[in-house]
Amino acid sequence: MKKSHGVWWSATSENDLLSIIEYVARENPLQANKIFGEIKKRAESLRAFPDRGRIVPELLDQGITLYRELIIGPWRIMYRVSENKVYVLSILDSRQNIEDILLKRLIALK
């Protein structure tokens, strides 16, 4: 039997999701609700299949293979797996420059 993983959301990923939903809801509240459900459902699916996402290409180019992502166009759910836990780290819009967003977030941590 396959081991189940816990799915943990970071504060950053929760804020990302809230921002996405608020933005979409301004124009279409029903669509925002649908997007919210789909993103949560896909993230929760990582309980059974944590390694199903691809390695984040922008990080792979730098030799970093610890982070994975699921695509729910146009959003990217970025996460990492550690032991029996999946940590959802960010939900980003793939139409934006991901490298710039990640760099700004790293600088903000200093």
**Phi, psi (degrees; rounded to nearest 5) at 38:** -70, -45
Residue 108: predicted pLDDT? 64
Q: At CA 92, angle to CA 86 and CA 93, rounded to 5?
A: 145
If one counts every other C-beta atom within 10 angstroms of the C-beta of residue 10, the result is 14
Domain ranges across the chain: 6-108
Q: What is the pLDDT along the chain (110 residues), one digit of tens a residue?
A: 567 899 999 999 999 999 999 999 999 999 999 999 999 999 999 999 999 999 998 888 888 899 999 999 899 999 999 999 999 999 998 887 777 777 777 666 55
**Which CATH superfamily includes the segment(s) 6-108?**
RelE-like (3.30.2310.20)
Looking at the DSSP bridge assignments, the partners of residue 79 are 68, 88
